[in-house]
Each structure stands twice: as C-alpha cells, then as structure tokens.
Copies of this chain bind each other. A is one copy, B any other.
C-alpha cells in the first residue's frame, strides 16, 4: 500500500519501519518538527512536509500517529475525501476523524514503541473502520505487520485494552523504577534483578499470573513482611506502595 504518515514521534517511527519491512511504500511523512520529519523521510527513502496543506492526496491510507490531544486539531485542518484515514490512539474515539473523510478509523498498536528500538517487537494491532472498505483496508494493513494479532475492535474494547495495558506495562515499569531507585539508594545492583524480572514476565505465557503468585504476601509470611516494612522505614513512599500491594495480593486470593 501507499501510506502517508502524519506524525514523527515514537509510534510513527516504529510503525513506519514495520510498514517498510512489510513491503509498503511510505509516500510522505508529515510533521511539525522539520528535523524529525526529514530524518524519517531519509530513513524511509521518501519526502517530508511540515504543512498539513501540502499532504499528498493520492495515498491508499493516512496514519495519524500524534499525541492524543493534538488529533482533534489536526483533523480540523485535514480534508481527504474518499481516502482512508486512521489514528493510532487508544483513548480517542474513531469519530474524531469523521469530517476528514467518510472512510475513517483507528489503527491502535498495543505495544510500547520507542524510536530507539533496535529490534522491531511484535505489535498486536486493534483496528476499526467506519465502513466495510475502511475495515478491510485497515485489516489488511494490520495483518501485514502483525499476522494473527490483527484484531477488529471498536472504541469501547480498545479503551478497555488500554486500561489493561496501563496495569500490565506502565505500572509494572513503575515498579521496576521503584526497585531501581531502592537499589541505587541502598547500594545494590539493580541489574542483578534482571533474570528475575525476565522470568516473571516470561512465565505468564505458560501459567496464569493468578496461579504464579509468589512472595511473602501470598503465603501470609507476616514475619518477612514485618522485616521488609522495617527495611523500608527510611523510604516512606516505597513503604506505602508495599503495604497497598501486599494488601491487594491478600485480597485476591
């Protein structure tokens, strides 16, 4: 397919590379930041523009990969009648694009994407379109980069998936960050926890996390919990999180 990418951030950068790797042609990349747009255009062997008014009107599909709160204002300035257009945001309804074209939708990558990634990760894509043509085109585009992890999902499902993703990724990363912070303050090597973190994450593929729970909270090891809270007495913030999550594990049982 011929694709116009609107946006130059993390999602645009990685999706663009995935599209290229799948054999699509990126006709143009549009972004406010000239140097980022030029860099992506160079990487993708295409052209860039800083003006929405200069967007090529002949592409098969337009992907808007910009921050959530910028989508509405970009949509106001875009008119691409007859073209298929989709944004990549979890929490913005598809309808925000309805005045750009009647063929609008969402192309949501359920993955944490960063420009700097050396390897392209697996990216499940949840798509929805305003009509059959849009649905089919976005389905084909999604399948081309994620195979069977291309799933049709409306606004409601997508937003709920995002809630689950916040728990499974944003919040877990925060716990890694808290552990790292504690290690730094206590003179411990955070990297010694890497094998444990890897094992904990990999295990869920073979055993439900609800059945894989280990640690002092699930085995009601009050002596260890008490010791840990003492060790955290100089870290009131960590202590509070420890108490909340320990209680949460106990309630789950």
Contacts and interface: CB of A to CB of B under 8 A. Distances in A.
Interface in A186-219: 186, 188-190, 192-210, 212-219
State how many copies of this chain the complex holds: 2
Interface stretch (A57-65, A127-135, A176-184): A176-184
Contact of A160 (B118, B171, B196, B231): B231
A164 B177 contact: no
A213 B252 CA distance: 27
Contacts of A219: 67
A15 to B, nearest CB: 14
Interface string A65-108: 00111000000000000000000001100000000000000000
Interface stretch (A17-25, A27-35, A221-229): A221-229
A111 B181 contact: no
25 contacts: A112-B203, A149-B195, A151-B189, A151-B192, A160-B182, A160-B188, A161-B192, A161-B193, A163-B182, A164-B182, A167-B175, A167-B182, A168-B193, A168-B200, A172-B201, A173-B204, A173-B212, A173-B213, A173-B214, A174-B209, A180-B204, A198-B202, A240-B244, A241-B244, A241-B245
A39 interface: no
A143 interface: no
Contact of A196 (B151, B168, B217): B168
A192 B110 contact: yes
A219 to B, nearest CB: 8
Interface size on A, as a range, is 35 or more
A137 B227 CA distance: 29
A167 B179 contact: yes
A7 B157 CA distance: 47
- Of A162, A177, A194, A206, most buried by chain B (CB within 10 Å of CB) is A177
Contact of A198 (B164, B201, B224, B237): B201
